[in-house]
Amino acid sequence: MKYVGLGAATLATFLGLWWLIAGNEFFIYKVFAPRMESVRREVFEETKSYRQGMIQDLQNMQREYILATPEQQKALGYIILHRYADMEDSLPADLRAFVAKIRNARPEK
């Protein structure tokens, strides 16, 4: 009987420690994961390949914009302004002028 109680106490202690460690791990993940993801995204957005891909995408959208109807141009204009709002300083001069043209053509609210 003594060994059964000791075994049960050992098992309860083991399960309690396991629950404490698992709960602590979840808490650490909950607190620090969003911060780590934010930093990871900022680093990714500063990479050369990301920037070049965004510029290439904007050049493709510029071609689509030129060939589009006025209704399509309005829709594309909103998409372009939304996607490239924070990149304008790092764009080549021709694309910066294109984005400025779209911004100026937009009706004021």
4 and 33 together in one domain = yes
pTM of the model: 0.63
3-state class of 58 per DSSP?
A: helix
Q: How many domains does the chain have?
A: 2
The answer for residues whose C-beta is within 8 angstroms of residue 95's C-beta and 6 or more apart is 55, 58, 59, 62
pLDDT of residue 60: 95
Q: Which domain holds residue 22?
A: 1-46
Q: Can you give the C-alpha Rg of the chain in angstroms?
A: 27
Euclidean distance between CA atoms 39 and 59, whole angstroms: 28
| Residue from 103, 104, 99 nearest 58 by CA | 99
Q: Quick one: tokens of 96?
A: 């910066």
What is the rounded CA–CA span in Å between residue 31 and residue 108? 41
Per residue in 66-75, pLDDT (tens digit) is 999 999 999 9
Does 24 share its domain with 7? Answer: yes
Low-confidence ranges of the chain (pLDDT < 70): 108-109
Q: Are residues 89 and 60 in the same domain?
A: yes
Q: Which tokens is 71 given?
A: 């209704």
